[in-house]
Every structure is written in structure tokens, then in C-alpha cells.
Chain A
Amino acid sequence: MTFNGYRRADGSAGSRNLVGVIPTVVCANDVARAIVGQVQGCVGFFHHQGCCQLPPDLERVTDTLLNLGKSPNLGAVLLVSLGCEGTDTDRLYRELQAFGKPVEIVRIQESGGTSKAIAAGTDAAQKLLLEISGRQRVPCDLSDVILAIKCGGSDATSGMASNCVIGYVADKMVDLGATVVFGETTEFIGAEHILAKRAIDENVAEDIFRIVREMEHRAESLGCDMRKGQPTPGNIAGGLSTIEEKSLGAIMKSGTRPIRGVLVYPESATGRKGLWIKDSPGREPEILTGMAATGAQCMLFSTGRGAPQGFPSMPVIKICGNLHTYERMANDMDINAGTVILGQKSVRDVGEEVFALMLEVLNGRQTKNEALGYFGSIDIHTLGPVI
């Protein structure tokens, strides 16, 4: 089974052909934003990291930005550097170039300040856009797809409808030879024993227990009950009483296939097949970024309360399990899975609707949040303090 995608130098296949404007540090966001506002076909990644962090976090930021830049949905990359950041900007540029990605860099301090950097960056982005804008879509196999899956703004319908629908599609994609990645380690707490049983071997099972232990330890380190942080006030208003209940519903979206391994947060899933876990928190800015860095061309996102956001370089399909939310927020929600709760449609029926829409989106159809440009929820998950 095929979709029409953009074949990249490394053999990957993109569902979009964008110029990614990547600030290498939070302090470069304003210049990057001006460039994105001027040049068509550009998307910006306005994160808040890259300076005054400990070396392991700076490396994590560099690696995440690198894998974001390598995403098959980006035809070219413009790096916007301030000049004194902790991110390894030179490595970023060098490795993107070696990867075969058309890449340019503008340095704000070296350019002579804001207005000069905006001018230089605008010229560079325009050149990159002209270079890639004539690329044609070609038939690519569905096994080239890395599908990210997530739930956000969950309520009681998520674990009984929309996540089950995503689970159906996840299984189908794994069977078609694709890569499927899910994360939200916080939302394994209380359900990790079920996931561990699906691990391909003891090492992977131990990895699953370990990442949950580490995440739970971080949550407990402030000496309070994590409720309100997780589950969130919205989850609680939607009927979810404990993190265990939220987790047991959340893991439904991973389907039933064996779990092949755990990826660290910045890691790409390129070259891997089957079902994988990305170790990440559940909060949207961090996991959306982490999933795009995975190399995912598309994300299926389940919600009950109504989480509207997408991601600049990765189309995000919203599947809503709550009929009332779907009716209230129809311009944000792509698929209505509330019919599953009412018994009007089966998980399989709605799963096939999602699969059909996903194929269209891979072919270029825009998702609702993409059409609205609702994709500013971006950040990189770091572990240590800001110092």
C-alpha cells in the first residue's frame, strides 16, 4: 500500500515539503519569527531551551533540534543562531549538511544585529524555498511511515473510544510494515505491567519498568501527591480519578502488537520497524516536539476534553471520543469517535475512517489545526535545572 510523498536524500519519505526555521536557542526566536512571517512555506520551532543548562541537557537540545531538522517533512532547514548559546550550533549545521539536507545558517551577533539578521535570514529562507518548491510527490510505501500516537486533554471517553480507535490503526500500521511510536511515560504509571508483558524480551520489559520508575521518582521528589499535575484538573473534571485510571485508558492507543524497544527523548526512529516507545512526559509541547524528532510524518491524537493544537512540521489528526466536545469544537476535531460510546459504530469502523483520513493527510490534505496554523505548543524536554 502506498502514499504520495517527497523522497528525501536519506531515503525517507515526507508528507510535507516545508522549510524549517530552527532557532538554536530561545534568544533567537524573535528573529526566526520575523523570517517565518515573511517567507512562504516556512515553519518555525519556537522552543525555550539552549542556554544556561548543564551539558547533558545542552546535548539533548542539540540532538533534538538535529533530529527535528532531519525530519522527512522538511525539505530544507534554516538555523537561526544568536552566537553565544550553549547548543552546539556548529555540530547541528555540519550534521544536517552531511545528512544531505539543504541547510543555511544566520548568526544574529555576527550579522550585526536584529534587522540585519532578519534580512539575511529572509534571503536565505527564500533561496531554500525556491530550491525545494518544485519537488514532486512520488509513490512511497506505507512501510516508510513513522506514525506518532498520543492522547491529550483526556476524559473518561478516551480510554473507551478514541484511544481504542487509535489502537486499531496502530496495529494495522504495524502489520503493514510501518513504524509506530507512542510515549507519555507518566501515563504508564499503574499500567506498566501490562506494557511490559508485550515487550519483545526481558531487556525491553526492564526498560519499560525503569523509565516509569524514573518518571515517578521525579514526580515524587517534591514530596506531594501528583494528582492535579497528573491527572490534570481537566482530566478530573472529565471523570478520571487517579493516574492509574488515566494510564490504563491511555495505553489503549498503543494497540496490541509487541513493543520492540524504548527510544530516548531526542532519538529518531528511522530504520526501525514495528511498535516503539519514546520516553517522554505527556505534556503537549514536549511530546509533540519529541515525536517530530522521531521522524514521524503524521500523528494521531486522541482527546476528550478538546485539545486543539498541532505541530508545525507534523500534521496532527484529532480524534475525539466525547460527542459533546466534538459538537462544540467541530472545527478543531478531525474525527468523531463519540459514536463508539453510543454503540452506533464499532472501533473498527471508526478506525477505518481514521486510516482513510490518515492516507489523505499523508498525501497532502491539511488537518484542521494545520489549516488554522494552531501549532505553537513547542518545547524540548530537559531533565536538569536552568542555571
Chain B
Amino acid sequence: MEEFFALQVHLKDNVATVFASPEKGSCVRVDDSNGASRKIEIKDDIPYGHKIALTEIAEREKIFKYGEVIGRALRNIEPGEHVHVHNVASLRGRGDLAAEIAGEDRHDI
């Protein structure tokens, strides 16, 4: 069976990037920055270079990649689910929200 692999760039990350195009139900080997590996069954078809969740991520929880915040979950995300624009919002450059929350801490969106 073909082995698909993904990289977790930083130990703090709750997502990994998949460098293959596996179909839903496939098993992906996730290598972390310490050289350790684990396997995750994926719950969606994943295009090359896209991300999967490594843990349960609750709605509004922050998404971490490179050990840094890259956005916030728009809904609950299960391990192995595709993590992308359909379930992650950016916290920056949000002119649509800026009007509503003028003066408030942007990170509380």
C-alpha cells in the first residue's frame, strides 16, 4: 500500500501539511520536527500541500503552524479532517470585521 506522508513543522502545531494527495480513509504518516512519527487516518480527500488536523480543535480555537497562530477554527474539527479556508478564518486583514469591532482586540474575534 502506498505510504502518504505529512510534516508537523513545530511540536506546538495542531495541524500537519500532507505532501501527497491521499483519499479519504487513507492512513498518513506524520513526521514531527523531532523525527518522531505517528499515523493518522484521514477523514477527507486531501490535495497535495494541504493540512490535516492532528488533534481535536474546538470552534474558535487557534490553529498553530510553525509554532505560530495562523488563524482560528470556524467550527469543531476532528483529527484527520482537512483544515483549510472552509473551517479556518484569518485574524488579519479583516476589513469586514474591522468596522464591527473597532477599538477591540483583534485577537478576540
A190 interfacial contact with B, CB 8 Å:
yes
Assess A225 versus B66: contact at CB under 8 Å? Given A243-B90, A322-B49, A341-B19.
no
A226 to B89, CA, bound (A): 11
A241 with B84: CB separation less than 8 A: yes
In the complex, which range does the number of interface residues on chain A fall in? 35 or more
B14 interfacial contact with A, CB 8 Å:
no
A157 interfacial contact with B, CB 8 Å:
yes
A88 to B93, CA, bound (A): 35
Stretch in B22-30, B36-44, B53-61, B68-76 touching the partner: B68-76
B90 with A304: CB separation less than 8 A: no
Contact with B along A135-170 (1 / 0, CB 8 A): 000000000000000000001110110000000000
B68 with A194: CB separation less than 8 A: yes
A242 with B88: CB separation less than 8 A: yes
B96 interfacial contact with A, CB 8 Å:
yes
Contacts of B68 in A (CB 8 A): 190-191, 194, 244, 248
A223 to B51, CA, bound (A): 29
Stretch in A126-134, A214-222, A262-270 touching the partner: A214-222
- Residue in contact with A190 in the complex, picked from B50, B70, B83, B88, CB distance below 8 Å: B70
Give chain B's interface residues, CB within 8 Å of chain A: 7, 9, 17, 19, 47-51, 63, 65-66, 68-71, 83-85, 88-99
A156-B19, A227-B85, A248-B68 provided; 7 other pairs, C-beta below 8 A? A220-B95, A224-B95, A226-B95, A227-B93, A242-B90, A245-B70, A322-B49
> Can you spell out 19 A-B residue pairs with CB atoms less than 8 angstroms apart?
A155-B49, A160-B7, A160-B17, A190-B69, A221-B95, A225-B90, A225-B93, A225-B97, A226-B92, A227-B93, A237-B47, A239-B47, A241-B85, A242-B85, A243-B92, A244-B91, A244-B92, A245-B71, A248-B65
